[in-house]
């Protein structure tokens, strides 16, 4: 993203600062098999800013800074569907740690009523796994916007160029947080990190299996539900010549309304989560089963390990930009078999 590097003046008695403008662009590069391509050079990449092709200065693969943000709040035992589970969230986080390549600095944050940094930045994976085993705790609320803002602040402390945040969440926000959703997303965009999301939004809408606590039962009905058996004086209590079978439904209107409201929020949040990821060059994963939830942690980790930092000096000066100006960026591959993905654009920061 844009940076300004001051060049010291040639004569100390007449100090003048000359700023060299540079954009740093994080680009995920994979080969035809979906694996990290270690051979990318500037000639392989075409960068277009606001419709104008740019001259690439460098392409580097830097150690990653990975913040894992775990949603441990707002668990809902609703009607006819799966819910977030802290044990599954933990399993996904453990899988992420196991699949990240050696070298990245990792931090772990959980959130329910408020964000909680349970593991500061470290390279010690054993310490991270211990924290995941002992410090995750469930809560009734899920203040997602507050967690986004906290993640943005934490990421800005890390060197620019390879910042990543991985959210494991359904994206549903409990009202009453300190930061609004739009403000939080703006702060995360300013942190210039790649956003990856392993989402609960499809999983929680799937019907439960046969061993779940479904509100529907099929089989022999209790005697109390059969008026003929109740009034038959020729049979011993609880017996009849033809056992009564049928379908029983446990109907809880309040729970049903709660479930419908939750599903409506989940539907809205999925679009928001998708936009957050795609705007930054990241990706949202939408597993439909617990198995897929864990297995797609590998894909998110692979994206983190496949990122380059591309630098270029924009042909239209950053100094000429209007306050808050947004510039669109497109990235394309010049080489057959090379797949590239990057952020859609950036806001030009105020230069010193």
Tens digit of pLDDT for each residue in 78-127?
A: 444 567 889 999 999 999 999 998 778 999 999 999 999 999 999 999 99
Structure tokens at 45: 């990449």
Q: What's the DSSP call for residue 23? A: E
User: Quick one: pLDDT at residue 61?
Assistant: 92
Q: What is the CATH number of domain 65-207+267-308?
A: 3.40.50.410
Q: What pTM was estimated for this model as a whole?
A: 0.81
Structure tokens at 269: 């949040």
Q: Which of 48, 256, 244, 262 is nearest to 173 (CA)?
A: 262
Grouping H, G, I as helix, E, B as strand and the rest as coil, residue 289 is: coil
Q: Are 28 and 341 in contact (CB under 8 A)?
A: yes
Candidate from 61-65, 234-238, 248-252 with smallest mean pLDDT: 248-252
User: Quick one: pLDDT at residue 227?
Assistant: 47
Over residues 182-199, mean pLDDT: 93
> How confident is residue 134, by pLDDT bands cut at 50, 70 and 90?
very high
- pLDDT for residue 247 is more than 50: no
> How confident is residue 160, by pLDDT bands cut at 50, 70 and 90?
confident
User: Quick one: pLDDT at residue 254?
Assistant: 73
Q: Where are the domains of the chain?
A: 65-207+267-308, 216-249
């Amino acid at each position: 993203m844009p940076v300004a590097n001051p060049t010291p003046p040639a004569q100390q008695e007449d100090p003048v600062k000359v700023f060299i403008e540079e954009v740093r662009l994080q680009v995920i590069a994979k080969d035809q098999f979906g694996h990290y391509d270690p051979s990318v050079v500037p000639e392989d990449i075409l960068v277009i800013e606001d419709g104008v092709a740019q001259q690439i200065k460098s392409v580097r693969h830097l150690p990653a800074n990975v913040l894992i943000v775990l949603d441990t709040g707002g668990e809902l035992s609703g009607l006819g569907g799966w819910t977030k589970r802290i044990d599954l969230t933990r399993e996904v986080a453990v899988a992420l740690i196991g699949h990240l390549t050696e070298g990245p600095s990792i931090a772990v944050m959980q959130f329910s009523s408020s964000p909680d940094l349970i593991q500061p930045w470290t390279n010690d994976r054993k310490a991270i796994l211990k924290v995941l085993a002992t410090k995750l705790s469930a809560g009734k609320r899920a203040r997602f916007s507050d967690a986004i803002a906290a993640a943005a602040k934490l990421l800005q402390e890390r060197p620019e160029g390879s910042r990543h945040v991985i959210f494991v969440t359904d994206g549903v926000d409990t009202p009453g947080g300190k930061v609004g959703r739009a403000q939080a997303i703006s702060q995360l965009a300013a942190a210039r990190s790649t956003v990856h999301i392993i989402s609960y939004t499809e999983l929680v809408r799937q019907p439960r299996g046969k061993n779940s606590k479904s509100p529907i039962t099929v089989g022999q009905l209790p005697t109390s539900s059969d008026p003929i058996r109740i009034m038959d004086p020729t049979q011993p209590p609880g017996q009849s010549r033809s056992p009564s079978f049928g379908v029983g439904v446990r109907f809880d209107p309040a729970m049903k309304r709660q479930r419908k409201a939750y599903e409506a929020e989940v539907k809205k949040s999925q679009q928001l989560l998708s936009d957050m990821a795609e705007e930054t060059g990241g990706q949202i994963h939408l597993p439909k089963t617990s198995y897929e939830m864990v297995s797609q942690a590998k894909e998110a980790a692979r994206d983190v390990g496949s990122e380059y930092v591309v630098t270029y000096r924009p042909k239209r000066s950053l100094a000429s930009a209007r306050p808050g100006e947004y510039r669109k960026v497109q990235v394309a591959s010049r080489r057959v078999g090379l797949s590239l993905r990057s952020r859609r654009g950036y806001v030009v920061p105020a230069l010193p």
